[in-house]
Amino acid sequence: MLTNGDVPIALIAPREKLALVRLEEDLSTMRLCQALSAVAHYAPDEEKHIVCDTLTAYYAQESIRRRINLFWMERGVLLVDPNTTYISPLSVLGEGTVVMPNSYLNGATIVGESCRIGPNSVLKNAQLGRGVVVNFSQVYDCTVGDETTVGPFAHLRPGTELGEHVRVGNFVELKNTSVGDGTKISHLTYLGDSDLGERVNVGCGVVTSNYDGKDKHRTIVEDDSFIGCNVNLVPPIKVGRGAYVAAGTTVTEEVPEDALAIGRVHQTHKEGWAARRRTEGRLK
């Protein structure tokens, strides 16, 4: 219930409870609260809006946004530009966290202490530990462990769980993937429906081919493995603990522990071919 002094101005209650009260009576706030088991909240003048179109909806939204931002700034959260920061009423921010401009914390997002969010980041139903950095990235329905760095330009899709001290770099997309502590996925990678162990290094351009046109399959990469650049992992597949996968390899079979997997075409040279092309003007 919203009130102006002792005068009720708005009320939300179950229909069956409202049926028990004769609202046409001159009821005070106290009597209504007792009758409906309601809680009264005072609404200051600047937060009273009649919403009838998109313009009045904007004024109402701005009023709520300012109140939420002030609430967190009073509790030790630094909003570098409160005018471009949007925090859901269901979100929780830890003390010492810095939120940069153009950041959106939607849904039931939980941010730990001493984190850095943004600029230009979107979080929805995300759970971030302590000291997490999310820079120019989007995080949806994910869990991120302490001291992990995300971005810039990373996309964490639902079901992703990152451990502690993980690095997810630029142009990395993760979907329904778990990543162990200390693992690095630095750039230009897609991992879907995957389980990565601890201290794994994933090179540039690695892709899991998790969808076969009908079903999705999981990829497992165990602890201390190394995945080279431009590797295709075709699941269901497992890369054993401490194994290396050479750059350019397409992996279709299980890689044993501590093994080296190489699956690329053998390189050949045609001596003098380039010189002949330049002089003769055609390919041979």
Q: What angle do CA 44, 45, 49 make, to 5 degrees?
A: 110
In whole angstroms, give the CA distance from residue 60 to residue 48. 8
Name the more confident of 201 and 281.
Answer: 201
Predicted TM-score (pTM) of this structure: 0.84
Residue 165 and residue 231 in one domain = yes
69 in a structural domain: no
Residue 91 and residue 213 in one domain = yes
85 in a structural domain: yes
- Residue 10 sits in which domain range? 2-43
Share of residues in the chain with pLDDT > 90 (%): 73
Q: Are 137 and 155 in contact (CB under 8 A)?
A: yes
Closest CA to 80 of 54, 60, 99: 99
Residue 99 and residue 156 in one domain = yes
18 in a structural domain: yes
Residue 11 has pLDDT above 90, yes or no: no
Please give the pLDDT value at position 249.
97
140 in a structural domain: yes
Residue 169 and residue 97 in one domain = yes
Please give the pLDDT value at position 57.
87
Please give the pLDDT value at position 135.
98
| 165 belongs to the catalytic site | no
Residue 140 and residue 7 in one domain = no
Please give the pLDDT value at position 71.
96
Both tokens of residue 225? Answer: 């493995």
Residue 86 has pLDDT above 80, yes or no: yes
Domains in the chain: how many in total?
A: 2
135-179 pLDDT per residue, tens: 999 999 999 999 999 999 999 999 999 999 999 999 999 999 999
Residue 34 and residue 129 in one domain = no
- Residue 222 belongs to domain with CATH number: 2.160.10.10
107 in a structural domain: yes
Residue 8 has pLDDT above 70, yes or no: no
Query: pLDDT tier at 15 (50, 70, 90 boundaries)?
Result: low
Please give the pLDDT value at position 79.
98
Residue 199 and residue 267 in one domain = yes
Q: What are phi and psi of 63, to 5 degrees?
A: -65, -45
Please give the pLDDT value at position 59.
87
Please give the pLDDT value at position 43.
66
Please give the pLDDT value at position 14.
66
Q: Average of pLDDT values for 25-49? A: 66
Please give the pLDDT value at position 266.
87
Please give the pLDDT value at position 265.
86
Name the more confident of 16 and 69.
Answer: 69
Write out the DSSP string of the chain.
Answer: -EEETTEEEE----HHHHTTS-TTS---HHHHHHHHT---EE--GGG-----SHHHHHHHHHHHHHHHHHHHHTTT-EES-GGGEEE-TT-EE-TT-EE-SSEEEESS-EE-TT-EE-SS-EEES-EE-TT-EE-S-EEES-EE-TT-EE-SS-EE-TT-EE-TT-EEEEEEEEES-EE-TT-EEEEEEEEESEEE-TT-EE-TT-EE--B-SS-B--EEE-TT-EE-TT-EE-SSEEE-TT-EE-TT-EE-SPBPTT-EE---PPP---TTHHHHHHHHSS--
155 in a structural domain: yes
Residue 143 and residue 264 in one domain = yes
Query: Cis before residue 236, ω within 30 degrees of 0?
Result: yes
220 in a structural domain: yes
Query: Which entry of 41, 49, 187, 269 is annotated as an active-site residue?
Result: 187
Residue 98 and residue 151 in one domain = yes
Pick the range with the lowest mean pLDDT from 17-21, 249-253, 279-283: 17-21
64 in a structural domain: no
174-216 pLDDT per residue, tens: 999 999 999 999 999 999 999 999 999 999 999 999 999 999 9
Please give the pLDDT value at position 80.
98
Residue 256 and residue 166 in one domain = yes
Query: pLDDT tier at 276 (50, 70, 90 boundaries)?
Result: confident
Query: pLDDT tier at 282 (50, 70, 90 boundaries)?
Result: low
The contacts of residue 53 (CB under 8 Å, 6+ apart) are none
Residue 206 and residue 250 in one domain = yes
Other Cβ atoms within 10 Å of 68 Cβ, number: 17
Residue 211 and residue 121 in one domain = yes
